[in-house]
Amino acid sequence: MAYTTPLFHKSFHTPGWHGDADTPVVDNKYIDKDTGKVVVVPPDHAEYLGPPAIDIIISCLHDSNEGGTGEGAPHGHRRSMRAFPMDALLRHVLRVAYRHKHQGVYIDSVMATPFAIRLTIGGDFSSDEYDTITDEMMNGIWDVTEEDEGPVKEKKEDGGGKK
């Protein structure tokens, strides 16, 4: 069995982001935007990854009991932030969708910016299946290896003409 390198080595550090103040937290402190004072955060404050982490938002086209499999059809959006390069995250999310196409999963739309991926998927799946698929899209990146990604084929320039 060949040695495979996990992709988590591509993850990077991002500062924590104070949920209420909408500002970075450094050394358990942040600057209050209204007063300009440095505030020490309480131990139970809500903090999440901030820029340059990638925001992933996944929605279901059938966001009601009228679509999907009827009773128990998917509801709501799934959202997370991951500190990985955009190309690795986007490739991972699209590959997960492709792997689940046998379940009828399809991509309705995808939008990617430097700091966000917004994906709308459709298909005939239950709420539990939707949870499993979106969990794999958002959290499976930690388990991906370079071998899973496969080689990236570069386009070779031939000088403009055929030989």
* 118 found inside a domain: yes
What is the arrangement of strands in the sheet containing 106-113, beginning at the earlier edge strand? Answer: 77-82, 54-60, 116-122, 106-113
Q: Residues 47, 19: contact at Cβ < 8 Å?
A: yes
Domain-located, residue 2: no
Q: Which domain holds residue 60?
A: 7-149
Domain membership of residue 156 (yes or no) is no
Residue-wise pLDDT tens for the chain (163 aa)?
Answer: 343 444 545 555 666 777 777 787 888 888 888 899 999 988 777 777 777 788 899 998 875 534 444 444 456 788 888 888 888 889 889 989 988 888 888 999 999 998 899 999 988 888 888 888 989 998 888 776 555 555 433 334 444 444 4
Domain count, the chain: 1
CA neighbor of 11 nearest in space, from 78, 82, 107, 79? 82
Residue 1 domain-assigned? no
- The answer to whether position 155 is within a domain reads no
Confirm whether 157 is domain-assigned. Answer: no
| Dist. CA 112–CA 110, nearest whole Å | 7
Residue 118: enclosing H or E segment and its boundaries?
A: strand 116-122
**pTM greater than the 0.85 cutoff:** no
Cα distance between residue 119 and residue 61, in whole Å: 10
How high is the pLDDT of residue 146?
59
Task: Examine residue 160 and state whether it is found in any structural domain, yes or no.
Answer: no
18-27 burial, b at 16+ Cβ within 10 Å, e below that, comes to beebebbbee
Give the bridge partners for 106, in sequence order: 122
pLDDT, position 5: 46
- The 3-state DSSP class for residue 91 equals helix
The amino acid sitting at 161 is G
Residue 151: CB atoms within 10 A of its CB come to 7
State the angle between helix axes of 127-139 and 86-99 in degrees (0 to 180), rounded to the nearest 10.
Answer: 150
